[in-house]
Structure 1
């Protein structure tokens, strides 16, 4: 590897603001904000949605059942007699 071309890899505190939960993850993200968690200072980065709060991962997503194209065609033209 070439020296001085790679970003610094460090532990970063990501804050899911939707559920007010912190995740400590290794990242190369650059931020000038810091936060103290359990006596350790981490770079701080707020996020809106994570796997802990996204409806797809939490099982709260509503799936809609959509008919296929043939069923839509039959429903649309069922009253027309040839």
Structure 2
């Protein structure tokens, strides 16, 4: 018989991206104090996120590349090219 009280509380949790309101459900051990009603009527724990794949610049395609910032990288390389051995 398995030991009681040693396993984390692994259950369905609603994660909400506070920057855009995007919500998704996944199984997690994340500690929560709030609950919310999901689309199917279940009352689930709620975990608030600062950002998710729906709002992060890397995933949305709005991330700026260092090379596209006015040619700064190329200027740096040209400036210090003479030090390269």
Q: Does residue 10 of structure 1 match 2:17?
A: no
SS state of the match for residue 49, structure 1? coil
Please name the residue that 1:27 is paired with. 28
**Residue segments in structure 1 that go unaligned for 5+ positions in a row:** 76-82
CA offsets per residue over residues 50-74 of structure 1, 9 Å max, x none? Answer: 0111001111111121238642314
User: 42, 54, 57: which one pairs with 2:44?
Assistant: 42
Seen in structure 2, the aligned counterparts of structure 1 residues 43 and 73 have a Cα distance that, compared at 3 Å, is: same
Q: Report how many aligned residue pairs link the two structures.
A: 75
Seen in structure 2, the aligned counterparts of structure 1 residues 62 and 16 have a Cα distance that, compared at 3 Å, is: same
Q: TM-score, normalised by structure 2?
A: 0.75
Poorly superposed stretches of 4+, deviation over 4 Å: none
**Residue segments in structure 2 that go unaligned for 5+ positions in a row:** 68-72
Q: CA RMSD in A?
A: 2.2
SS state of the match for residue 18, structure 1? coil
CA offsets per residue over residues 13-70 of structure 1, 9 Å max, x none? Answer: 0110111111101100121210001211110011110011100111111112123864
Q: Mark the structure with the bigger radius of gyration.
A: 1
